Structure 1
């Protein structure tokens, strides 16, 4: 074989030899990008560059990163290497799927595993002086970092680099000592909040949806889009225990939509994106992690639990809103006819006149739907300034806070009175910049709100008076997660 022929064969295999511009882009990738992002675009020292990994990033942002680089990372700018046409072609190339479907084997999972510290040799009490149950784990998406924030003094105790695009929300060990973080491109990190040290990392997949930690703290379950499977890890060191292909009863392969733990049930609950099934995997005793299959009426995108964890509220396009599944009987109880696309996984519940109600934002319509938990009937639709993404509250707060993330008024935050179901206040913390995602301190006296911008901030409010207490500059802070609220699965927070 001639020496110059191999790159051309590689290019043809990847892009199908169809578009000359894409062929040239593939050659540019091989020369300038492959050493960091891998020959198959699975990632290396740089993140994976597959369509699944880049799905939430706009082409203009990809173009900007190629041209200008990314601050506080090893990604240099290539404006002096590529002309604008080459950059445009690279953007198109990175959004094309490889001809050969990517795979990630057990051997590759094990080969990616790294240990950075031995938890048995570290102190088992907090070494930082802050309340360990009132810490916040803050995802700073703009430059891919994690901040550990003292929830009493509102000061950053530690900051460390995360993998590309942390996704699905960090989860905690039952005692709150450890936090587990998953990135969009499959990396799972274990961090010790007592000692402010990174303990271990492993790449559990190529495109990860989210992870959950078992009630007893022994297992971490990771749900993947690519490859479509579940990965069981030992929570102590992230070593591989088992992989479970996401294959339906009829043999259909699927992606995993969502994975959560159901503490009263000692189990994990899993939704499949391409198969009409919900899985329950016991985590009690010596589990075999064989799924109990519950038939659903439609593929499920996300879900939330009833307060007693006996029923599942799942987003379902076919049901034109959602469906309620009883986990004990394994039967669909009812459909919930809701307009648009309710984001049930980000909904929240509280007691109103002594009865539980559930409220959900909607990612395609400007409204909040409030549902009676007992009858599953719609109580009220609350008009908002635009479609929203996140909704949060606290048992000690009179308000439910909801954003209008997808609307032109995305700099606004609505405060809904939980008893009257009316919008009591609308705040615009930083006009012109997206405001989203609230998390309360453990006692509910204060809350943190994100301004999703490169020159953004965390804004600390008194939850009663709504007085602004502090503004902490950050680079596109997205989610923030209070240790105590999460491990106690309190009313008003995400699970």
Structure 2
């Protein structure tokens, strides 16, 4: 049964609801869904820039009920409210539609993924870059306003190329270890490979139907794709985008789970999965000798087809759900929290080597740990994380796991960023009326030294640095937005590049060397 057939059944159900509710004065749920919801969540409810809206993905929603979310939006997300267009009855009818199962989800496994591969027949590899710039100082800018990526020379800020991407890029692009190839993932599961040297798209493949993010293996051979729908992790060969492994995800008790995120752990030659629906994390090994846990053996031999590689899985039980991570610089410790948890529930520290929680974290709001940053202060390493609820930035001593300061901000934030050569961290105020502000915080005094207002009344967010840390690039996160380049020492604006909602910026050197100031 096709997705369009399933959608037709939903439409017939919606028509029946319209007939029953016409006297109440609101449009049918199918019509309302198509008008207000489909552009983000997909015409078939299987996801787009927003998540899939089917019972399988809605069952774990905690906090406000669905009708309230539809009418009033959801805090700390990009979900707006529609009370201007819908009354309570209209919202309730949409909820009934969303809670109606799609009778048969489209199959999406190895066969379907490989069949979706679309390699560029005009792609011609080159021996050296076709441009004259420092290959290690290239920065790519994701422009979600019209679904493009711009490739910037990090010294001159010249745009070397601007190319189309799949719809709604999400989760941060990844570079291979050489910095030559860029891998981009969209919320509807498409993965695109782009050759920065040649300024050409190599190809694309749909690794899932509703996906969250990607992670690159340390050897550059494998790309892991985390998906909400189906509940699976897809591992692709970076060479040709063919499937190496489709790992369906169920907890130890058999409960299916969405994969909230996947991260690479270079020293252990593994990927770590954050699971949305079961209190576990998974570690999947791609290296030659997985460490113990009952499956250590030398299975990587010359000539072994990637379809035969086992990618063994280690499942670690946790005391609570974790779907947002931050690793220390050694990658032994995971700082984690649940974004769906109640305000003030805190987080936990997991020792990945022994597979147990070793400490609790005092986190007063909803932390965005994966956007955190670390630096050296008073002989120890500290970490800062913003909160998507509550206007504070938490600073944590990573030797004791104690909070050493809560820096008062002008509102909830989404990203903090720094660079090892900078004396400041930059923290946005992404949510609320002060979304046009950017705090600059001294790493040693932990005081705000300056609050910038780069674009009055517009959202400013997500800072990235050039290779040497000399310049900080700030996004004006609007359709008629810009990337603003600041002198990272004087905090003065240097240049402004018009962009279409530049949601994120990613410098080659900072990413492939795992700069302490950026997310990994």
Report the Cα distance in structure 1 between the residues aligned to 2:482 and 2:332, rounded to whole angstroms.
Answer: 38
Correspondences of 1:182-221 after superposition (within 5 Å): 182-221=185-224
Deviates more, 1:300-309 or 1:15-24: 15-24
- Retained in 2: the 8 A contact 1:389–1:403? yes
* Structure 1 residues not aligned, in runs of 5+: 1-5, 65-83
Which residue number in structure 1 is paired with residue 112 of structure 2? 108
- For residues 469 and 7 of structure 1, the distance between their equivalents in structure 2, rounded to whole angstroms, comes to 53
| Alignment partners' CA distance in 2, 1:361 and 1:253 | 31
Structure 2 CA distance for partners of 1:386 and 1:116, relative to 1, 3 Å: same
Q: 2:438 aligns with which of 413, 429, 446?
A: 413
Aligned mates of 1:28, 1:427 — CA distance in 2: 40
State how far apart, in whole Å, the 1-side matches of 2:43 and 2:457 are.
41
Matching residue within 28, 40, 46 for 1:22 = 28
Change (3 A) 1:13 1:26: farther
Q: Which residue does the alignment assign to 2:428?
A: 403
Counterpart pick for 1:306 among 296, 318, 328: 328
Q: Deviations over 1:228-253 (max 9, x none)?
A: 11001011121112111111111010
2:296 matches 1:297: no
* Distance 1:112-1:436 versus aligned 2 partners, 3 A rule: same
> Does the 8 Å CA contact 1:26/1:93 hold for their aligned counterparts?
no
Q: How does 1:94-493 map to 2 (within 5 A)?
A: 96=98, 99-100=101-102, 102-103=105-106, 104-117=108-121, 121-285=124-288, 286=300, 287-316=309-338, 317=341, 320-493=345-518
Question: Structure 1 CA distance, aligned partners of 2:464 and 2:391?
Answer: 22
Cα distance in structure 2, aligned partners of 1:305 and 1:49: 26
Pairs within 5 Å for 1:21-40: 21-22=27-28, 25=31, 40=44
In structure 2, the residue matched to 1:10 is: 9
Instruction: Return the alpha-carbon distance in structure 1 between the equivalents of residues 399 and 335 of structure 2.
Output: 13
Other-structure match for 2:295 = none
TM-score computed with the length of structure 2 as normaliser: 0.81
Paired residues of 2:260 and 2:323 also in contact (CA < 8 A): yes
Following the alignment from structure 2 to structure 1, what is the Cα–Cα distance between the partners of residues 6 and 366?
45
* Secondary structure in structure 1 of the residue aligned to 2:17: coil
Deviation at 1:456, TM superposition (A): 1.0
- Displacement of 1:459 in angstroms is 0.2
Q: List per-residue Cα deviations over 1:141-175 (Å, max 9, x = no partner).
A: 11111111111110111111111211100011000
For the Cα contact (< 8 Å) 2:29–2:94, is it kept in 1? no
The CA distance in 2 between the partners of 1:485 and 1:214, in whole Å, is 16
Q: For the structure 1 residues 168 and 97, does the alpha-carbon distance in structure 2 shift closer, same or farther, using more than 3 Å as the test?
A: farther
Q: Distance in 2 between matches of 1:7 and 1:350?
A: 52
Question: Cα distance, 1:38 vs. partner?
Answer: 9.1
- For the Cα contact (< 8 Å) 2:438–2:452, is it kept in 1? yes
Change (3 A) 1:17 1:306: same
Aligned length: 459
Shift of 1:23: 6.8
3-state SS of paired residue (1:19):
helix
Contact 1:256/1:272 (CA < 8 Å) preserved in 2? yes
TM-score between the two structures when normalised by the length of structure 1 = 0.85
Q: Structure 1 residues 60 and 248 mapped into 2: Cα distance closer, same or farther (>3 Å)?
A: closer
Q: How does 1:84-99 map to 2 (within 5 A)?
A: 96=98, 99=101
Residues 285-321 of structure 1: per-residue CA shift (max 9 Å, x gap): 3352221111111111210101111100001438821
Aligned partners of 1:323 and 1:334 also within 8 Å: yes
Distance 2:143 2:128 in 1: 26
Aligned to 1:216, what secondary structure does the other structure show? coil
Q: CA offsets, 1:97-119, max 9 Å, x none?
A: 66316342332212211110587
CA contact (8 A) 1:15 1:26 kept: no
SS in 2 for 1:415: strand
Deviation at 1:18, TM superposition (A): 2.7
Change (3 A) 1:471 1:48: closer
**Is residue 211–residue 228 contact of structure 2 (8 Å, CA) maintained in 1?**
yes
Q: 1:388 to 1:215 in 2, by over 3 A?
A: same
Unmatched segments (≥5 aa) in structure 2: 20-26, 58-69, 289-299, 301-308
- CA distance in structure 1 between the partners assigned to 2:315 and 2:147 by the alignment: 37
RMSD, aligned CA: 3.1
Kept in 2, the 8 Å contact 1:49–1:94? The answer is no
**1:354 Cα deviation from its structure 2 partner:** 2.2
